[in-house]
Chains A and B, each alone.
Chain A
Amino acid sequence: MVSNIARPRYCAALALLFLFSFWGETVAAPNPHFSPFEALWIWMPFILSGFLLNLVMSLLAAVLGTILGGLLGIAQLSTSKVICSSSVFVTQVFRNTPWIIILFAVMLLVPFELKLGTRSLIIPDWLKATVGFAIPVSANVAEVVRGAILSVPSGQWESSESLGFSKWQTLRMVILPQCVKRMMAPWMNAYAILVLSTPIAAVLGVHEAVGNAQQAMEALGARTSLLVPFYSFILVLFFFYIYPISRLTLWLERRYAVYL
């Protein structure tokens, strides 16, 4: 895995992104304030703390979305018509709707505080954004789980039935353990898509990496010479986090490929 980092494609991508950053420095107009790179260095901890919130949101949303998505995926294969059709409907609706609209719906329609008698419990905006991200993730994970369960040969179901397993026992003890291998690569892909979608919360005022970078640029006087370095820094930050995940996904796909 470490040797992959030195590969030409990775270097080419990094070079492209750094080129944009240095371009910002050369076209910066001379001014008595900080140069764009000094400004970026001073504000980097602030932007990185926002990036930490991005990662926390993505991990929480991934956990929540995986649990909900697993249940939704299994429900899609139920024999009861009501459960089956309603879970198919829910999955299709949340797969076909853009993430920003689901996020809007959750953030604007869920109240910002819960009143318990005289006390009020404030629901932080990043928590609502996390739930807003968990919903489309659960729909994607539901499809992954459904695909993995359907890819297990039907002989497994028949032989467990003949051995006296109930349907739930079969699912729990025979099918799902075999599905874990098949689900790993698509699940990592869904996680990468989730992380790349968390900056959408900045549109709704959550103080994560993009929001913090925009606030930093405002604090520095909103000079246009800051735009390229600051936005390039965020792009490079996400690239450093996601590229290893995408390499890991490729490796998992090859390692756990199922040949029937």
Chain B
Amino acid sequence: MFELISPVFRHLYESTGVNFVFLYDPYEYGRFVNGVFLTIELGICCLLLSVLIGILGAWAQEARSRILRLLIAGYIQAFRNTPPIVQLLFFYFALGALTPKVSADGYSIPIISAFDWAVISLGCFGGAFNVEIFRSGIEAVPHSTREAGEALGYTKSQAFFYITLPLAFRFCLPALTNNLVSLLKTTSLAYAITVPEVTLVSSQIWSDNLNVAEMMLTLFIFYNLIVAMLAWAMHRLERALKIPGYG
């Protein structure tokens, strides 16, 4: 496919000066494609971790232990009211300096890489919002439904996983879509800790080739595309999970 589009964009550059170098130069193309794949990987990992933290946190908010409830509340307030980029820098620089290093032929590399710290930090950031979203979904499940579960002999955790959670998930899906789209956009902040995702790779390409405007346009198009794809996928999920009687 690259061989097909390469002469088109090389001709475009030579005739008009509009330089989409990553579409006709094989080295830049390779770099850009690696960046795109890493961005998608980062996005998927962050979204999954944040949904997992959201579900666990929402379950822990109904726990009997007061300390656990206070801990979750403290975690939510701390991660919602502080800047995500400072959280990223804190996790990577401050906590990264405290993690052990593995030696590799004479030099040592940290055991948790920049990509891993980005996933942990952004997953925790997204998870804090998701806990509130899942809690609102759980509270929207009618009391009568939960009491019916109790009457049918479900234990507390069985009722949570088989009765409450499926309904709560369907109720909170629109708000969850909003939050996951926002988290996908926030993953671009991993630029600050030099995760080689598409923003950093584009900055490297425009430093080498001085085509800032073209790379900016590419980034705009790329992020709008993946946000549109995520929103479309979540809407399909909403339609597929639709049950009669709700919405």
Residues of A within 8 A of B (CB): 8-10, 12-13, 15-17, 20, 24, 27, 92-93, 96-101, 104-105, 108-109, 192, 195-200, 202-203, 210, 224, 227-228, 231-232, 234-235, 238-239, 242-243, 246
Bound state CA distance, A97 and B223, in angstroms?
Answer: 6
Most central of A109, A198, A227 by chain B CB within 10 Å: A227
Chain B residues with Cβ under 8 A from A192's Cβ? 81
- Interface size classification for chain B: 35 or more
Bound state CA distance, A96 and B216, in angstroms?
Answer: 14
Chain A residues with Cβ under 8 A from B191's Cβ? 100, 203
Cβ-defined contact, A196 with B188, below 8 A: no
Residues of B within 8 A of A (CB): 70-71, 73-75, 77-78, 80-87, 89-90, 93-95, 97-98, 181, 185-189, 191-192, 199, 203, 212-213, 216, 219-220, 223-224, 227-228
Cβ-defined contact, B81 with A108, below 8 A: no
Q: Which residue of A lies closest to B182 (CB)?
A: A193
Known: A9-B70, A196-B84, A235-B82. 19 other contacts (CB 8 A): A13-B75, A13-B81, A17-B78, A98-B188, A98-B189, A100-B188, A100-B189, A101-B199, A101-B223, A109-B213, A109-B216, A196-B82, A197-B85, A210-B85, A228-B98, A231-B90, A235-B90, A238-B83, A239-B77
Cβ-defined contact, B86 with A231, below 8 A: yes
Cβ-defined contact, B188 with A231, below 8 A: no
Bound state CA distance, A196 and B223, in angstroms?
Answer: 21
Q: Known contacts A96-B223, A100-B188, A109-B213: does B93 contact A242 (CB below 8 Å)?
A: no
Cβ-defined contact, B78 with A239, below 8 A: yes
The 8 Å CB contact of B90, one of A12, A93, A97, A232, is: A232
Bound state CA distance, A20 and B90, in angstroms?
Answer: 10
Chain B residues with Cβ under 8 A from A108's Cβ? 212, 216
Bound state CA distance, A198 and B82, in angstroms?
Answer: 11
